[in-house]
Chains A and B, each alone.
Chain A
Amino acid sequence: MEFLNEQIDVKALPDITAIKTEKLSANYLKVIYITRGLTSLILISGIVVAAILLKDIPVTLRFSVSGLLIILFIWFFSLSSKVFHARSYAIRQRDIIYTRGLLFKSTTIVPFNRIQHAEIVSGPIDRFYNLSSLKIFTAGGSQSDLSLPGLLSNDAARIKSFIISKTAHDEEE
């Protein structure tokens, strides 16, 4: 293999920040409200029951800890809309970009020529709103796999077939 070592002007390369990102489907916000609402509700009722039953632990400790936890879960629920607006994605010619996270904001970029396979997943609440998640798998292990939630089912299918045509195209080259 010939070894090339040309100078590359880094500033002239395509820039991940110079793109217009797509928002997720508006219905997905409702899905976040429902799932976050249900989990907080279940956990809070669990904490309340535990706080009443665990009589061995001193009262002050018991109520302060459970109070803190309850506030934490209410906060967790109240962040729903912010969480939704923090998520966005973009598709470029050669890769897919997904941004998410409030406390930790992260932007993951998966090049099409490293994708092993793609999958469409849809839970019961998702199905009610006609939404799907697109899962993209690479050889980088579970942490690097990308899950793009809250896409309209049609869009998810279209993006998936686009990605697959791209990966197939890359192999032919």
Chain B
Amino acid sequence: MMKRNDFDFSQPNKQSYAAIVFLAYNFFRILVRQLWPVLIAVLVGRENIKNMLIWIIAGISILIFVFAVISYFRYYFYIDNDELVVVKGVFKRSRTNIPFQRIQTINIEQSILHQLLKVTKLEVDTAGSKGTEFSFSALSMAKAEALRQVVLEQKSKILPSSESSDIEELPGFELAPQTILHLSFSELIRIGATQNHLRSLLIILAFFMTLYNQVEDIGVDTDQVVDQINEEVVYFGKIAIIILALMSVLASFTFSLIRTTIRYYDFTLFRTNDGFKIVSGLFTKKQISAKDHKIQYISWADNPLKRLLGLYDVYLKQASSSEIRDTKSISIPGCDSKNVERIKSYYVSPDEWKDLKNFKISGKYVYVRVLYFGILPAMIVVSLLLFTDYKFYGLLTAIWPLLVYLAFKVNHKKWNFAINNELIYIRNGIFGNYFKALRLYKIQSIALRQSIYQRKHRLATIIIYTASGNINIPYVHLDLAQDICNFVLFKIESDKRKWM
């Protein structure tokens, strides 16, 4: 608490000098992203072009540095009444005012570079906006903490009743954080091994696609390379295809493992006296906290691989702006069912699970999904194939709608939702299982949507809007949907608890 007095935030404050490094790095990154084919041209190009380009790059680098220094000196912030004001811009000056009551979270994050330079990144997030409102790339640790303190304290003064829990670290009241979960290295490997490898494969493919396009852009004759690969595949025949398949399986698996390790290395979940806190990361030590009152709903999920090991991922969905929602929602990998129950019990007490009334969704759901995801795409593919020499493959596409039908048949069987006076509980999934539990008073607004087909059959999709994303309940009988709507509205409008 004393620290706050060391800084005067009513006067314009600058970031730490280390910010210049980050500003330059940012400019540089943007430039490299745009121009990296040129850099490759430098590496493989002819001598005279090479020399010229090196001079140009050197010039640009100096310009970037000058730019970074100027923008550093033209970037400052201060606190004016109940607002955080940030003024920035080299040519075009911009001024951002953020009233304290709109600030949702203030996060402090350190990468390796930050740790070396003894500074920290500070992100300010507000509800309703897109993306992070803004971030300071480098503040001294003490200043960042002080700023956070001041903002949180001022904020709780403005909203004394509802936000009093925001005051942190009141001496004497703080219980020592309890460790709920710590992931050892072997657990990390198990989590990595049970990730969605299909997604990893898609990421790798996407990467190679962009690489291919970019290389083509700078004039490398990709056709020739592709032809050569084609020739070799034809030459080695089936073996080549098998090797390629094995390689992509291995690559996706390795990629999943590496991604998991980088993200969840040394993962620890703490319970503080009014929320959760996680610390994790290999290169960048990330610390995210979720206060109980900011958690909008919780969800937990498995997949076929995880089910073998009895593992779940748990997500604590926090109120935040739409674009950074995924990064701010806390994901807790590798929980066994005991851990899941424990985390759940902090958010919803066992009493509140009682008297849940169960409902199913209509079977018509399956037919419409099969039409949209099975029959229509298959028809498009078949009609396109008719224009080519591969008409025969059109027959193969007929299998697709059948697979889709089976998948959604399973999905429909799993789809289940339940309501009591306090909660909505949802279960669905195709290969895995997804569970969600949402307190009714956390709901922001609600909508009923009906397609023409749904209107004919008196069905409706319920869309529940929360401060942490939408939850849809599809193909509910209209009368039931309206009853649920009336009930939820009654709950929102009569419950005096603050949704945050």
Contact = CB atoms under 8 A, between A and B. Distances in A.
Interface residues of A, number: 39
Contacts of B421: 5-6, 8
A109 B489 contact: yes
B482 A141 contact: no
Contacts of B489: 13-14, 16, 94-95, 109, 111
A145 to B, nearest CB: 9
Contact of A110 (B322, B387, B445, B463): B445
B128 interface: yes
A94 B321 CA distance: 26
Interface stretch (A75-83, A98-106, A126-134): A98-106
Given A8-B421, A103-B452, A144-B465, A138 B445 contact: yes
B448 A137 contact: no
Contacts of A10: 483, 486-487
Given A104-B451, A111-B493, A17 B470 contact: no
B319 A173 contact: no
Contacts of A95: 489, 493
Given A137-B128, A144-B470, A114 B499 contact: yes
A140 B466 contact: yes
A32 B499 CA distance: 38
Contacts, number: 110
A138 B468 CA distance: 12
B128 A106 contact: no
Contacts of A13: 486-487, 489-490
Interface string B334-366: 000000000000000001100100000000000
Nearest to A105: B450
Nearest to B349: A3
B448 A106 contact: yes
Interface in A92-126: 94-95, 101, 103-114, 116
A168 B105 CA distance: 24
Interface in B286-316: none
B483 A113 contact: no
B54 interface: no
B447 interface: yes
B453 to A, nearest CB: 10
B455 A105 contact: yes
B65 to A, nearest CB: 38
A106 B450 contact: yes
A114 B445 contact: yes
A100 to B, nearest CB: 10
Contacts of B450: 104-106
B128 A108 contact: no
B238 interface: no
Contacts of A14: 486, 489-490
A53 interface: no
Nearest to B420: A5
B465 A16 contact: no
13 contacts: A11-B483, A16-B482, A105-B455, A106-B450, A109-B485, A113-B492, A137-B128, A139-B128, A139-B500, A143-B465, A144-B444, A144-B445, A173-B496
Interface of A: 1, 3, 5-6, 8, 10-11, 13-17, 61, 94-95, 101, 103-114, 116, 137-144, 146, 173
